[in-house]
Amino acid sequence: MKHRDLSEADPEVHKALKNEIERQESESLEMIASENFVPKQVLQAQGSVLTNKYAEGYPGNRYYAGCEHHDRVENLARERACEIFDADHANVQPHSGSQANFAAYFSQLEAGDKILGPVLSHGGHLTHGHGVNFSGDLFNFETYGINDETERFEKEDVMEAAKEHNPDLIVCGYSAYPREIDFEMFRDVADEVGSLLMCDIAHISGLVAAGEHPNPFPQCDIVTTTTHKSIRGARGGMILCKEEFADDVDSAVFPYSQGGPLMHQIAGKAVCLKEAQKSEFKDYAEQIKKNTKALAEGLREEGLKMVSGGTDNHLVLVDLRDEEVSGKEAEEALEEADIVVNKNAVPYDPKPPMVTSGIRIGAPALTTRGMEEEELSEIGEMIGKIVKNPEDEGLKSEIQERVSELLDDFPLYEDSDVEI
């Protein structure tokens, strides 16, 4: 086999990768709440020779020989995950957050069983029961919604829905909910109706790991997460659970729903979990929350409304129902000014999902770049100005220039960090 440099072996892919490094480094402010930038050590682990091996099974019990070093890596990831989240057991093999949810549901339920999850436009994810997704297709999903007045999930509403539907499992944990999750409240409801309780901490796992959001254990029975959002690691998923669910969780991942694990990704997960145990990560997570509050302040300054009036975590959900722009138009106008956010439904959104009346904005990625409250509050104001004046080309150019300065002032990678 001939080894060649990628630039020589495949100039087209090489060029696309170079362009993407450039885009991430210096072309826009990345404010999609589910995205982040991983450190070099995670990139190194992901790009490693662990990709060469089949390791079906679990450490010490593989279907293939030669897994000694893979066992070591997977055990490190599992041990670190259990320590961080105070879980009895961790399965680090799910290829994604969706795969983690698939396996978590099937570890305890059969097709047709009843699950109570959030109304999707109130912050849930497709895997929480949407009809276009396996979850809505295979399970009998019923929903609880956000409270009309507080725009938060309140006990009375969740309890009412649980008593009405008598679910086998309740799901909490969201994609677009700006407030802390009250695990004790959900446990009380689950106990009242004799249901299992699962939390999907895909978005907030970095905050939880750092103690900046309450931990879902011991109240929850099973916890799923992605490993690439606020926890800033390799793209993938993970399931954490109490001991009594461990065997069922493991067999629901492999052999029920996946084949060979992506061991290079598992190495990336192990590395990010080690990072998450450091005091710098605690500072990072604390700063994410301060930055998101500063962002909300800037938006408020420009007269924008936010769902629930603000934020306790890493994101805000701007409610555009009183504005002239839709979520789609706001997203496009902001992109023209090099600020990247996503359109997002707000509770009781009158507009269709591809248009929406909201934008979701998150601070994890800019916090990774080193920005602090001063920058985030200024960016909040810039976003507010564009949302109020989406056609103002002069304003967009002015903001583009300021964005470019900010990107220069807060560099992301050195060339040697992302050498390809």
Residues that bind ligand PLP (CB under 6 A): 34, 96-98, 101, 125, 127, 173-175, 200, 202-203, 226, 237
Active site residue 256: no
Report in angstroms how near the CB of residue 149 gets to ligand PLP at its nearest.
25
Active site residue 142: no
Active site residue 105: no
In whole angstroms, give the CA distance from residue 41 to residue 233.
10
In whole angstroms, give the CA distance from residue 36 to residue 386.
24
Report in angstroms how near the CB of residue 230 gets to ligand PLP at its nearest.
11
Active site residue 56: yes
Report in angstroms how near the CB of residue 307 gets to ligand PLP at its nearest.
16
| Cβ-based nearer residue to ligand PLP, 202 or 359 | 202
Catalytic residue among 25, 27, 54, 305: 54
Report in angstroms how near the CB of residue 239 gets to ligand PLP at its nearest.
12
Share of the chain residues as helix, strand and coil, in percent rounded to the nearest 5: 50, 15, 40
Among 286, 222, 255, 261, smallest CA distance to 88 is for 222
Q: Are strands 114-118 and 140-144 parallel, antiparallel or unpaired?
A: parallel
Q: Which residue's beta carbon is nearest to the bound ligand PLP?
A: 97
State which H helix or E strand residue 170 sits in: strand 169-172
CA angle 320, 324, 325 (to 5 degrees): 65
Report in angstroms how near the CB of residue 226 gets to ligand PLP at its nearest.
5
DSSP 272-319: HHHHHTSHHHHHHHHHHHHHHHHHHHHHHHTT-EEGGGS-SSSEEEEE
Active site residue 58: no
Active site residue 200: yes
Contact assessment for residue 321 and residue 351, using Cβ atoms and an 8 Å cutoff: no
Catalytic residue among 30, 200, 275, 319: 200
Partnered with residue 226 across adjacent β-strands are 237
Catalytic residue list: 54, 56, 200, 226, 229, 235
